[in-house]
Amino acid sequence: MLANRLAGRTVGCNASAMIDKSGVDERLLAAEVAAAWSVDIVNLVFIPVGLDGHAWAYRVDTSDGERYFLKMRRGEFTRAAVLLPGFLRAQGVRQVVAPIDLPDGGADRRFGDYRLLLYPFHDGGSLWGRGLTDRQWIEYGEFLGRLHAVTPSADITAALPVETYRSSAGERLRTLGGQAAASDALGAFWDRYGARAASVVGNGR
């Protein structure tokens, strides 16, 4: 029975990455996932790992032998996290794992104060300790090439975060340059190279 399998189950992992359970009723969570994605759940296994302090992970086992990865987050997922993976897969970037769409549309589902995303489950170990093989580095480079060749749609562009970078190096150089010019130790150096340094910083290189 699912109710018996939910209690106290975890998957072994590095203790340094351990995350405590959220405190939600996992029976209600399993019922919500089953109804939302039309799956017959026989096991829900908490996976106590992750880097998002507001999110929790589960493995979902179904009666037809399928496995899924469930991510539950307190609050909203970013729009990019919901939309971008599916868009990339549709553009042929098959290495991206995208959330599974709900039968009635969309990918994320509300569950009380939480939001849910369901993904295909991929078994695999961590590469932090052993790194990539030469072949995997090649495949990784090929993936990056395909990724950067994709032109985002208007909807995806609107969902992506945008950062504006403005360097303060020029202002710092002007302040330090005055001190260097007046320095017995650095004055000659600054007389010789100061203009070139200011030119490089001014051109943003």
pLDDT, one tens digit per residue, over 82-111 is 999 999 999 999 999 999 999 988 999 999
pLDDT at residue 103, rounded to an integer = 92
Banded model confidence at residue 14, pLDDT cuts 50, 70, 90 = very low
Sign (positive/negative) of CA torsion 8, 55, 50, 80?
Answer: positive
What pLDDT is attached to residue 117? 97
Residue 196's pLDDT band (cuts 50, 70, 90): confident
- Whether the Cβ atoms of residue 149 and residue 142 lie closer than 8 Å to each other: no
**Radius of gyration from C-alpha coordinates of the chain:** 25
Per-residue pLDDT at 16 exceeds 50: no
CA angle 90, 93, 94 (to 5 degrees): 90
- Helix 187-202 × helix 169-181 angle, to 10°: 160
